[in-house]
Structure 1
Amino acid sequence: MGKVVVVENVTLDGVMQAPGGADEDARGGFPYGGWAHPYADRVMAEAMGKGMSEDSGMLFGRRTYEQFHAFWSKQTDGNPYTEVLNRKRKYVASRTLAGPLPWENSSLLPGDAADAVAALKRGVEGDLVVLGSGELVRSLARAGLVDVYTLSIHPLTLGTGTKLFAEGEQAYGTLELVEALPTTTGVIIATYRSIA
């Protein structure tokens, strides 16, 4: 049986919106896109590279899938990520996309995302890694389908923006810290396992 592993960049106040670039996600007038870049270092690159090298599939919501495909599938600078991302099996939860999907090794999940991911977990071995895809993460958390959270917790607060866990929603359960790795820039890469 597979495991759902959520991998996210978050601020101390829980914001996950647009860590990668100014124009990544400006919904709601979010002015801080690209906030994670100043904190990148060798420790973080090695930790994320290790995770990408493992035999796993990927789960995406529509918005994140389209952004990743638009950028990573076209990189030709010899970076280590493009080949890995192209090769990995990608599953996309979307109510608006229709197949076939444009990025190689991509499959559209039919119907309700939580139901489709629950069925997928039963039918695969290894991890199903979710990057970004906040709406998908929250729906999987509500359904009790997230097994592991790997959070790169950045030492800043933004005070606005989409949060990993929305305010006013039900409790998602109890987590157990299984690893904490500090970086040279003050980011803590914390891995939590769902236990209830």
Structure 2
Amino acid sequence: MRKVTAGLFHSVDGVVSDPFKFQFDSFDAELGQGLSRMMETVDTVVLGRVSYEEWAGYWPTASADEDFAGFINPVEKFVASKTLADPLEWQNSTVMDAPLEDFVAGLKAREGGEIAVCGSISITRQLLFAGLLDELTLMTHPVVAGTGRRLFGDGDPLTRLVLADQSRTSKGNVLSTYKRLD
């Protein structure tokens, strides 16, 4: 069975939205290498509508020399949306033809590499709480962002996790990978 992973940039105070506002001075070579290792095993990406629209407006025209552009543009992408319809403009992008949890469960049962949830906070949360997210990596930058959307909030279900891996970079970023404790 394929593994579903998610990785989010994260501030010390838990903000995961708009990381470009707080990560610029702490992104280092080790963090880039960690992201490259993650991209090597992924052959399918899951996005929410908002992330799709933001990324489809930027990455297709980004320099092919940028590591992430070389990964995200050609990779197979599935978009969870009730308002978008196929055909989508961004190459290799398709709207999911079933509810998110059913669709991802079907992807997991297929042959292939890892499935990564990219940049989609609500998708990450839904898959984690549904038991479909196998690993969650938080790349915590040494900064208090102050404002922004957090991954978790009041009213979330009690969900036990186990720390599967952790490393620290030279600029003080901490990469923590968690698995569900079922």
- Asked if TM exceeds 0.5, the reply is yes
Structure 1 length-normalised TM: 0.86
**Structure 2 residue corresponding to 1:106, chosen from 80, 90, 93:** 93
Equivalence for 2:153: 166
Equivalence for 2:7: 7
**Structure 1 residue corresponding to 2:131, chosen from 141, 144, 167:** 144
Matched letter for residue 2 of structure 1: R
Write the distance in 2 (CA, Å) between the matches of 1:159 and 1:40: 19
The number of residue pairs the alignment matches comes to 182
Residues 63-92 of structure 1 deviation map (CA, whole Å, 9 limit, x = unaligned): 111212211111136222222212211111
Relative to structure 1, the CA distance from residue 77 to residue 112 in structure 2 (aligned partners, 3 Å threshold; closer, same or farther) is closer
Relative to structure 1, the CA distance from residue 163 to residue 116 in structure 2 (aligned partners, 3 Å threshold; closer, same or farther) is same
Question: Partner of 1:56: helix, strand, or coil?
Answer: strand
Contact 1:56 1:126 (C-alpha < 8 Å) held by counterparts: yes
Shift of 1:167: 2.0
Equivalence for 1:181: 167
Equivalence for 1:19: 19
In structure 1, runs of 5+ residues without a counterpart are 21-33
In structure 2, runs of 5+ residues without a counterpart are none
Question: Partner of 2:126: helix, strand, or coil?
Answer: helix
Equivalence for 1:84: 71
Equivalence for 2:103: 116
Write the distance in 2 (CA, Å) between the matches of 1:105 and 1:185: 35
Structure 2 length-normalised TM: 0.92
Mapping 1:23-42, distance limit 5 Å: 34-42=21-29
Write the distance in 1 (CA, Å) between the matches of 2:70 and 2:145: 34
Contact 2:42 2:116 (C-alpha < 8 Å) held by counterparts: no
Matched letter for residue 113 of structure 1: L
Question: Partner of 1:100: helix, strand, or coil?
Answer: coil
Contact 1:95 1:111 (C-alpha < 8 Å) held by counterparts: no
Question: Partner of 2:87: helix, strand, or coil?
Answer: coil
**Structure 1 residue corresponding to 2:53, chosen from 37, 49, 66:** 66
Sequence identity of aligned pairs in percent? 32
Deviation beyond 4 Å, 4+ runs, structure 1: none
Matched letter for residue 155 of structure 1: P
Matched letter for residue 127 of structure 2: L
Matched letter for residue 85 of structure 1: I
Matched letter for residue 7 of structure 2: V
Write the distance in 1 (CA, Å) between the matches of 2:92 and 2:59: 14
Judge which range, 53-62 or 35-44, deviates more. Answer: 53-62
Contact 1:11 1:156 (C-alpha < 8 Å) held by counterparts: yes
Contact 1:72 1:82 (C-alpha < 8 Å) held by counterparts: yes
